[in-house]
Chains A and B, each alone.
Chain A
Amino acid sequence: MKIHEYQGKELLAKYNVPVPRGILVNDKSEAAGAARKIGGNVVVKAQIHAGGRGKGGGVKLARGAEDAERIAGEILGMTLVTPQTGPEGRLVKKVLIEEGMVIVKELYMSVLIDRQTSQVMIMASEAGGMEIEEVAAKSPEKIIKEYVDPVIGVKPFLARKIAFALNLEGEVFKQAIPFITNLYECFKREDCSMAEINPLVATNDGRLLALDAKIAIDDNALYRQKKSFEYRDLDEEDPMEVEASKFKLNYIKMDGNIGCMVNGAGLAMATMDIIKHSGGEPANFLDVGGGANEETIENAFRILLSDPRVKAVLIHIFGGILRCDILANGVVAAARKLHVSVPVVVRMEGTNMEEGHKILNESGLNFIVANGMKDAARKVVKAIQ
């Protein structure tokens, strides 16, 4: 789960990772007061989940309180388009007003899970302020990687290794050690899946600060991170995905017109793939999970059909332990209740498949029964032509 910059900085501050002084503002009338409280020049930063905010005009310097109010007025309510939002952009509802500062060095630092070693990795670079993927592609030698043994965590020696490799000196070097150890502590205790500080800055008055914070919380750990769970911002998610999540359905919206309902993530992806290979475009990814029952199927159906672009539906279930006759009854009941009017192709496999087919065929509803994956994809693509 992604969280906002201001929320990320709240978490960092809790672990004594230094962040700039800042005040969150929901309305432009609060901006001048906030700027005055902070004093001097301030930076007004749009709070949306996507990166690249500066490029889209969502981060601006304000010279004093009045200027801050004017700029906050411009940014609040704007539809911010960045390289990461897509062309539709994101509506800005909150801005963070932060102290301005004179930056002498911009660095990069992140804590993340390295899948190759199954360890926590700290990545750092002197090339701060730019996308780390870009640095990795152009000058990989500028990236420092250190791995954390979970038994001991991040001890000062490891932090020193990183600080020396970043060519830090004097006061800034001294501050870097607790910065790194505390950042790791925050990552671990808050169950982050990523904590990226880009840029991490050194200022002309000798401070080391997390100027930005891109933090994501591990979805699997939200049951024990109650505070972070409250950080969830539904405005940042697709409304249909939010609706699906209420029923524990895994739904991701795509651009096509063939709605898919599948059990299992791998099979759901493979179903999207085979639709594409057959000349169609999937409207979504939807995994109804292993324990799909009548209710799940009804909810899934409803969500699929609420997308006006969906012109046909493919239900693809590998029964396994879930019996096909039970599944077929669920599909029939849901289709009746929801008055489904688009063609529905059903491919099911597994226990009691014949009985399942019989139920679909005798329902009086217009199901198209498919045999095998390829047949299902072909039939659903044909159904919309």
Chain B
Amino acid sequence: MSILVDENTRLLVQGITGREGMFHTEQAVKYGTKVAAGVTPGKGGQSVMNIPVFNTVKDAVKKTKANATMIFVPPAFAPDAILEAADAGIELIVCITEGIPICDMVEVYRYLKNPGTKMIGPNCPGVISPGKCKIGIMPGHIHKKGSVGIISRSGTLTYETVSQLTALGIGQSTCVGIGGDPIIGMRFIDVLELFQKDRGTKAICMIGEIGGSAEEEAAHYIKKHVTKPVIGFIAGQTAPPGRRMGHAGAIISGGQGAAGDKMAVMKKCGIKVCKSPADLGQTVAKNL
């Protein structure tokens, strides 16, 4: 089993006619994802790799019953693309775009509360349920079907974790890259809740980084609500305070968000915390 996406997911791609959008649509199709439609305003009626392109998300949903979207729209237009998808009743939005202004995300976040749309990202690698459905920019071939759920704020560090697991013969139920921005849709807690309920997930690997307090909140949630083993790692143990480490959200500010504090809280709440990122795979193996 898996969470969020599976063989029943019917994917829509917003920005399908752009270079990135087209490339990753092709990768998704090759992986076996059911790509139902694309949207690029003004290019309705065209098709990309035999996938019909529509002018609006509403049209695409009506004609193809798409229920999830992958957004490859430049940062200046991505907030609008998210809102359009939510307005059209899409259940799951995966926004890959990096660099959306934070004031725009404040508005988007507020709007998504009402229809109750789930959003992954922005500034994220996406979500994959190995062997079933891949939405995003992660390399599909490193994954293996199995029972470890992964939640992460990082892209390549998630691939590293996945590849360690796969090398040990341990597969994944679903891998969710929640994104590196300060304001994101689904957070650790939202995904943890789904993994706890999913009967196909036996252990959870949670990869955080400096900045904010989402990991601490997740740790307290885990202590109360999650009975499955959780293995954790925090990137940025050597990061200097006050500097933004690549991700918009990765910053230690006002004495908050340091890796050491997060790791201490996580340990206290019963999470198996790895100090070294190279130990993630082995630690999961020991706790399965």
Binding site for B on A (CB under 8 A): 113, 115-116, 118-120, 132-133, 136, 149-151, 188, 191, 193, 218-221, 223-224, 250, 252, 254, 262-270, 272-277, 282, 285, 287, 290, 318-321, 349-351, 372-374, 377
Of B139, B155, B249, the residue contacting A264 (CB under 8 A) is B155
B42 within 8 A of A: no
Q: Which residue of B lies closest to A188 (CB)?
A: B103
Give A271's nearest chain B residue, CB to CB: B277
Interface assignment of B240: CB less than 8 Å from any CB of chain A: yes
A273 and B246 within 8 A (CB): no
- Supposing A274-B278, A373-B160 touch, asked if A218 and B101 sit within 8 A by C-beta, the answer is yes
How far is it, in angstroms, between the C-alpha of A224 and the C-alpha of B100 when the chains are bound? 11
A contact face: mostly helix, strand, loop, or mixed: mixed
Assess whether A266 is in contact with B103, with CB atoms less than 8 Å apart.
Answer: no
- 25 of the cross-chain contacts (CB-CB < 8 Å) are A113-B102, A116-B212, A149-B110, A218-B102, A220-B75, A224-B101, A252-B243, A252-B245, A254-B238, A254-B240, A264-B154, A267-B154, A267-B156, A267-B157, A269-B209, A269-B237, A273-B236, A273-B237, A277-B275, A287-B246, A290-B156, A318-B160, A320-B137, A349-B159, A350-B139
B210 touches A191 (CB 8 A): no
Whether the Cβ atoms of B99 and A220 lie closer than 8 Å is yes
Contact with A along B59-100 (1 / 0, CB 8 A): 000000000000000011000000000000000000000011
Q: Which residue of A lies closest to B279 (CB)?
A: A374
Does B218 make an interface contact (CB < 8 A)?
Answer: no
B226: min CB distance to chain A, Å: 20
B101 contacts A191, C-beta separation under 8 Å = yes
A266-B101 contact, Cβ under 8 Å, with A223-B76, A285-B246: no
Q: In the complex, which of the residues A276, A290, A319, A377 contacts B155, with contact meaning CB atoms closer than 8 Å?
A: A290
Residues of B within 8 A of A191 (CB): 101-103
Q: How many residues of B contact A (CB 8 A)?
A: 60
**Which of A113, A224, A373 is within 8 Å of B182, CB to CB?**
A113
Report yes or no: A270 in contact with B240, Cβ–Cβ below 8 A. Answer: no
Interface centre among B159, B163, B210, B212 (most CB of A within 10 A): B159
Q: Report whether B157 and A266 are in contact in the complex, using a CB–CB cutoff of 8 Å.
A: yes
Once A and B bind, how many residue pairs between them come within 8 Å at the CB atom? Answer: 170
For B163, the chain A residues whose CB sits under 8 A away are 318, 349-350
List B residues at the A interface (Cβ < 8 Å). 27, 75-76, 99-103, 105-107, 109-110, 137-139, 141-142, 152-160, 163, 180, 182-183, 207, 209-210, 212-214, 217, 233, 235-240, 243-250, 254-255, 259, 275-278
Whether the Cβ atoms of B276 and A265 lie closer than 8 Å is no
Residues of B within 8 A of A119 (CB): 106, 109-110
B250: A residues at CB distance < 8 A = 265, 269
Which residue in chain A gives the minimum CB-CB distance to B210? Answer: A269
Q: Which residues of B contact A254 (CB under 8 A)?
A: 238, 240
Shortest beta-carbon distance from B100 to chain A in Å: 6
Partner of A350, one of B102, B158, B159, B259: B159
Q: Which 9 A-B pairs have the closest CB atoms?
A: A266-B154, A265-B246, A264-B156, A266-B157, A221-B101, A374-B278, A269-B235, A267-B156, A320-B139
A265 touches B137 (CB 8 A): no
Instruction: Give the chain A neighbours of B141 by CB distance below 8 A.
Output: 351
B137 touches which of A188, A268, A290 (Cβ 8 Å): A290
A contact residues around B243 at 8 Å (CB): 252, 285
